[in-house]
Structure 1
Amino acid sequence: MKIKYYLAFMGMAALASCSKDSAPTPEIPVVQTSFVSKLIEYQPAPGQFINTDLGNLKGANTIIGKKGMVSLGAWGGYIVLGFDHAVINQVDKDDIIIYGNPFENFSEPGIVWVMEDTNGNGLADDTWFEVAGSEFNKTGYQRNYSVTYTKPAADTDPVPWLDSDGLSGVVKTNTYHRQAYFPDMKDKDGKTMTSYTIKGSKLPSTNINTTVPSMITSKPFAWGYADNLVDGDKIDIANAIDQNGKKVVLKGINFIKIQTGIQADMGWLGELSTEVTGVEDISLIKK
């Protein structure tokens, strides 16, 4: 009898053990972060903060997972960032907030682009869609614009540029920042780059007033741009447009690109350059 009961007990124990071993392991929930979580690309245009800790990869990484500050340089300079999740396109709500360092009468607006990871490979290799702001299609706004920047002979020399309209100018240097303004970059063969071209959209410069050098102003646009409003710029994914300027419907986005939107010489203040201090998914901000 004891042997019978012993064998029965061992059999039940074995079954219990098998049942325990075959039970699925509970998944550990992934904690999504509100801030962008990865730096994908940083391509600044020339500027007075470029090649300093505010305008290099070190500066670009300061806004990953928190607030920091990075300068994008003159027109076209950009940064590409990724979230650790898909930012859902909320109906009739703003989805993303971008922080910069503007003042009440001095903003340096940057154009925002968004991308959905439609092929699901985790790379920013799908289609970029511009987020139309308040200046979309107004006088001075231009799509498919490009600028070629050329490295000057000396680091202290102004940086020449030529745009797709055939206009030319320079990013002026000043005595406050004496390092090279042309980005220290290598090509795919490891050689130092001496010129490069950036493409994008251009915003009007009608908000800028430099007639009184001691009172230069760059008034903010109404909405839809980075480094524009003092309390941060809320972006609605629903305002995304395609290459033809038509609205597109996105379920959500995984990547964001911010690009200096105005080509302007601000006198003794230097070039207009968008600065970014942080990017967050509004739906995940703790209140």
Structure 2
Amino acid sequence: MKKKTIEFLMLISLCCALFLACSDDNNGPGTPGGGDDDEQLGEIKDTVFTSFSNVLTRLVLTNAPEGEDVVWQWSMESAPSEIYSLTAATSREAVFLAGLPGSYKLKVTATKGEESQTGNISVTVKKSAAEASPYIAKIYDFLPAVGQFTNDLPAYTEGDTREDIITKVEGYLVGKENGGMVSLGGFGGYIVFGFDHTVVNVKGKRDIRILGNAFGSNANPRPDAPFGGSCEPGIIVVSYDKNGNGLPDDEWYEIAGSAYQTAENEAWYPFFLEAGKDVRTIRNYEITYHRPVSEEVADEYIYWEDNQGNSGYKAKNMFHRQSYFPAWVNEDRLTFSGTRLPENGLDESGAGNYFVLYAFRYGYADNYPNTDDESAIDLAWAVDADGNPVELPGIDFVKVYCGVNQENGWLGECSTEVAGAVDLHVKGISIDTRK
């Protein structure tokens, strides 16, 4: 993505006078002649500086004493809006990001032993020259797994290259809310996109919504059934442009949805367990799809195998007769990896004619209708590769991939669809996070 003014990384040094109050050789404590003087903490000067809306800013306290014995604490005293983040604020450096212009009042306290000093920091945030769009600004990559809508959403034309397909996806999604829809196919199929600004990770609020086409069933025969219908959950992975080069090449963090560790707290878990469904969440799951030897085969169509010792075939159904293997890919096999969610589809008719795909409680794409609060994501749910929570100031890039490997009879595979994405703060939508 070509970065605009609102996206470059600004380094601002906040001058802080921290000095050692050393005792006089004749009157101070310790051995006469010097040696064991007590180190004192000096004054932190109040600082005023200017930034721009949607600019990640490192606040660096200079001339500060080194060592683990100095404890720094930052806090926001007053702000014209809740659309800001103040992160990594337990050292001499903090990262500040404001989504809206205005005057922000911060406080920083340094403590060393029994000595403590507090300084005030005023941040005047000016409006950026370019207005931030709440929608997707660029598609960086798109590779669906096999599926009944692959080569259809978007439509493949003979001779299309990867770049041609990405251009088509951009035509569907860039700058639009529900402008079109692309399918990620079965497990692992993915899309990578970015915004034209940094989406602020606002404390206590949900920050983004990935649009899909999930909807509820009208005639589920199960009494008191939890929400379900066509729910095809996609795993969401996020990154912020730490190196400032405008490319999605920094570290990625998974949004830990409700089944990140286990699905035991999902309302549908007991009857899925009873039905013998695979209800495990599997980290580092890997699946390989093989190019079909014939496009005429219906049941044993595309062979697949995973790293759990399982294998089988993806079927071709009567409703979609095009190739289900991405036609612009030259390789004869495709391998995808990531977190595999439990199966969420069940034949509630018992006769193969009424399948219900149940929603996970929160944290996924294409899992709840776009108007439901549970389709909105809090960036505070992000975790690192080891599952540890991370404190992101905001994010610039998003990857979504289909999180379920499952066939649902005549409905076909579970395949995540993406119809866009929204920065809720730029859009002016306020949704509290889950408690």
Q: TM-score, normalised by structure 1?
A: 0.85
When residues 65 and 212 of structure 1 are mapped into structure 2, their CA distance, relative to the original with a 3 A threshold, is farther
Match of 2:293 in 1: 153
Match of 1:52 in 2: 152
Q: TM-score, normalised by structure 2?
A: 0.57
Match of 1:189 in 2: none
Query: Which deviates further from its counterpart, 152-161 or 272-281?
Result: 152-161
The alignment partner of 1:98 has SS state of strand
Where relative contact order (Cα < 8 A, 6+ residues apart) is larger, the structure is 1
Match of 1:10 in 2: none
Q: Which has the higher helix share?
A: 1
The alignment partner of 2:366 has SS state of coil
Q: For the residues of structure 1 that align with 2:400 and 2:311, how far apart are their CA atoms?
A: 24
Q: Is the 8 A contact 2:212 2:366 kept in 1?
A: yes
Q: Which has the higher strand share?
A: 2
Match of 1:64 in 2: 174
Match of 1:113 in 2: 237
Q: For the residues of structure 1 that align with 2:358 and 2:281, how far apart are their CA atoms?
A: 16
Q: Give ranges in structure 2 of 5+ residues lacking alignment.
A: 1-126, 157-164, 217-228, 264-279, 430-435
Shift of 1:88: 0.9
When residues 241 and 273 of structure 1 are mapped into structure 2, their CA distance, relative to the original with a 3 A threshold, is same
When residues 72 and 60 of structure 1 are mapped into structure 2, their CA distance, relative to the original with a 3 A threshold, is farther
Number of equivalences? 255
Q: Kindly indicate whether residue 253 of structure 2 is the aligned counterpart of residue 253 of structure 1.
A: no
Shift of 1:59: 4.2
For 1:52-105, what per-residue CA distance to the aligned partner results, in whole angstroms no more than 9, with x for missing partners?
143663246411111210100001111001000001110010000111111112
Match of 1:84 in 2: 196
Shift of 1:278: 1.3
Larger Rg: 2
When residues 125 and 156 of structure 1 are mapped into structure 2, their CA distance, relative to the original with a 3 A threshold, is farther
Q: Is the 8 A contact 2:148 2:316 kept in 1?
A: yes
Match of 1:18 in 2: none
Shift of 1:286: 4.6
Q: For the residues of structure 2 that align with 1:171 and 1:257, how far apart are their CA atoms?
A: 25
Q: For the residues of structure 2 that align with 1:143 and 1:217, how far apart are their CA atoms?
A: 25
Q: Kindly indicate whether residue 275 of structure 2 is the aligned counterpart of residue 133 of structure 1.
A: no
When residues 102 and 212 of structure 1 are mapped into structure 2, their CA distance, relative to the original with a 3 A threshold, is farther
For 1:243-271, what per-residue CA distance to the aligned partner results, in whole angstroms no more than 9, with x for missing partners?
11111111111000111011000110111
Q: Is the 8 A contact 1:54 1:60 kept in 2?
A: no
Q: For the residues of structure 2 that align with 1:265 and 1:120, how far apart are their CA atoms?
A: 42
Match of 2:211 in 1: 99
Q: Is the 8 A contact 1:148 1:195 kept in 2?
A: yes
Q: For the residues of structure 2 that align with 1:93 and 1:63, how far apart are their CA atoms?
A: 25
Q: Is the 8 A contact 1:60 1:69 kept in 2?
A: no
Shift of 1:127: 1.1
2:310 to 167, 170, 173: 167
Q: For the residues of structure 2 that align with 1:194 and 1:171, how far apart are their CA atoms?
A: 15
Which residue identity is paired with 2:142?
Answer: Y
**Identity score, percent:** 41
Match of 1:20 in 2: none
Which residue identity is paired with 2:141?
Answer: E
Which residue identity is paired with 1:117?
Answer: D
Shift of 1:212: 3.8
Q: Give ranges in structure 1 of 5+ residues lacking alignment.
A: 1-26, 187-191
Match of 1:22 in 2: none
Q: Kindly indicate whether residue 345 of structure 2 is the aligned counterpart of residue 208 of structure 1.
A: yes
Q: For the residues of structure 2 that align with 1:152 and 1:199, how far apart are their CA atoms?
A: 20
Q: For the residues of structure 1 that align with 2:258 and 2:289, how far apart are their CA atoms?
A: 28
Match of 1:144 in 2: 284
Which residue identity is paired with 1:222?
Answer: R
Q: Is the 8 A contact 2:147 2:186 kept in 1?
A: yes
Q: For the residues of structure 1 that align with 2:242 and 2:424, how far apart are their CA atoms?
A: 22
Q: Is the 8 A contact 2:185 2:415 kept in 1?
A: yes
Q: 1:210-229 counterparts in 2 under 5 A?
A: 210=347, 211-229=350-368
